[in-house]
Amino acid sequence: MDNDSTEDALAVIEADAQHTRRRFLRNGVTAVTGVLAGSAGLATATAQTGATIKEAAAATDKALTIPPWSKQPGALVGSRPYGKPSEFESGVIRHLRKTDKQYFSSSTRTPLQELDGIITPNGLFYERHHNGIPDINPVEHRLVVHGLVDNALSFTLNDIRRFPSQSRIYFLECSGNPGYAVYGKTAAEVNGLVSCAEWTGVSLKTILQEAGLKPEAKWVIAEGADGAGMTRSIPLEKCLDDAMLVYSQNGERLRPEQGYPLRLLLPGFEGNMSIKWLRRLQVADQPVHSREETSKYTDILPDGKAREFTFVMEAKSIITSPSGGQQVDGKGFHEIRGIAWSGKGRISKVEISLDEGKTWQPAQLQTPVLSKALTRFRFPWEWNGEPVVIQSRATDETGYTQPTLESLVAVRGVNNTYHNNAITPWRIASDGKVTHARA
């Protein structure tokens, strides 16, 4: 682009920005003076407008007063060896369901409604455990690869780190997010078993090639070192595609609750298959049919049959602001924001409904839009103060569109626990209070 074109583009951007500023200022003044004029007449309105200006000036003077924290030195450098959030953000924590009776086989949920961007902080990444969190010494930990391979191998963590590394951004979601009978109050309670991170590790394909695969190899059985011996069967095609052995998350070593020192990561597949505390990979010619893929993590259909090996997490979205438990402060402009994701690839579009699903309007996708990662969306909205139900639906690059709960139940029945990717509706009352529209 030449200099003249650049200057023209910048001029247009600045003109748009000035127009936006003027519109907000004009709307604000109109709102004040219009109400005053309509209630007390022009003379009274003029007097009250003058009073309002004086109040605004006084508020400005107060805001410019030097606060206490600006009059003294702050905390010493190095006084917090590991950085922590501000004490004023201490309420932003993972959600633990109070209905759980014990916490060995349980979960905590990411506070989606409190977060921005697509990366979930490590301390807020959702958890799901089947027998607690093991305390593993990385020096003693080993990964064994055996079965239908040319050479059975045992790797230390240092051995794994010697292989060429890669970093990828992927979401991880529990297949029970949220189940079919959960109408939580907040976005965390409804869909908090999903998070997204930058994962660093080694391609699983590299490790399997190191061992050498026999022609009859069709599946890989992954086993964790936790007290549950969590075990899942994985199709070999996935293992040779984008599967990873990861040792770092968001730039630091895995947290214990995320599988330290080594976990499997299967992008787009249900979260329980990304085995944590990984200790064994057995190459086989058939699945092992473990407890976690027979009595658990199967979908019971209306005819009583079980739908097994439903690996992929389908397209989904949720509005995080405004969302359950929040308050819409007054009429006027508000930005509807949320996240969308799909285990089949990239999100191609997100649509917003403001009339309980009768009509839909396109939202703007925030870059980057990555495959099998969270994608942010936003939608400008002018609220008139009347009760309304808002909801979002996502479509991925395969053309699959997020369904309604009614359409899911019509096909799968009401006995399901897993793979509910239905639309989440939020109801906004005339006082601005936001609740789940199905609660």
Q: How many CB atoms lie within 10 A of CB 386?
A: 9
Has residue 23 been placed in a domain?
no
Residue 274 sits in the same domain as residue 206: yes
Residue 261 sits in the same domain as residue 194: yes
Residue 150 sits in the same domain as residue 296: yes
Domain boundary among 290, 307, 324: 307
Domain boundary among 307, 333, 354: 307
The pTM for the full model equals 0.86
pLDDT (0 to 100) of residue 41: 43
Has residue 365 been placed in a domain?
yes
Task: Please give the residue range of the domain that contains residue 389.
Answer: 316-436
Q: How many domains does the chain have?
A: 2
pLDDT (0 to 100) of residue 303: 86
Confidence band (pLDDT; 50, 70, 90) for 79?
confident
Residues 340-350 have a mean pLDDT of 98
Confidence band (pLDDT; 50, 70, 90) for 21?
very low
- Percent pLDDT > 90 in the chain is 72
Residue 297 sits in the same domain as residue 170: yes
- pLDDT tens-digit series, residues 96-147: 877 666 677 889 999 999 999 999 999 999 999 999 999 999 999 999 999 9
Confidence band (pLDDT; 50, 70, 90) for 49?
low
The pair of structure tokens assigned to 42 is 């022009």
pLDDT (0 to 100) of residue 193: 96
Has residue 62 been placed in a domain?
no
Residue 376 sits in the same domain as residue 230: no
- pLDDT tens-digit series, residues 357-372: 999 999 999 999 999 9
Nearest to 145 by CA among 221, 241, 232: 221
Domain of 403, CATH number, reads 2.60.40.650
pLDDT (0 to 100) of residue 46: 52
The pair of structure tokens assigned to 170 is 């992927």
Residue 301 sits in the same domain as residue 415: no
pLDDT (0 to 100) of residue 301: 85
Residue 294 sits in the same domain as residue 209: yes
Has residue 63 been placed in a domain?
no
Residue 230 sits in the same domain as residue 358: no
Residue 128 sits in the same domain as residue 255: yes
Residue 352 sits in the same domain as residue 385: yes
Domain of 204, CATH number, reads 3.90.420.10
- DSSP classification of residue 69: G
Q: How many CB atoms lie within 10 A of CB 60?
A: 9
- pLDDT tens-digit series, residues 379-430: 999 999 999 999 999 999 999 999 999 999 998 888 888 999 999 999 999 9
- pLDDT tens-digit series, residues 142-188: 999 999 999 999 999 999 999 999 999 999 999 999 888 767 899 99
Has residue 266 been placed in a domain?
yes
Distances, alpha carbon 192 to alpha carbons 109, 128, 142, 323, in Å: 4, 11, 32, 13
Residue 152 sits in the same domain as residue 295: yes
Has residue 93 been placed in a domain?
yes
Residues in Cβ contact with 200 at an 8 Å cutoff, skipping those fewer than 6 apart: 165, 166, 167, 246, 247, 248, 249, 251
The pair of structure tokens assigned to 120 is 């979930």
Residue 241 sits in the same domain as residue 352: no
Looking at per-residue confidence, does 41 or 81 come out higher? 81
pLDDT (0 to 100) of residue 78: 86
pLDDT (0 to 100) of residue 131: 92
Average pLDDT, rounded, for the chain: 88
Domain boundary among 282, 307, 332: 307
- pLDDT tens-digit series, residues 298-331: 888 888 888 889 999 999 999 999 999 999 999 9
Has residue 1 been placed in a domain?
no
pLDDT (0 to 100) of residue 42: 44
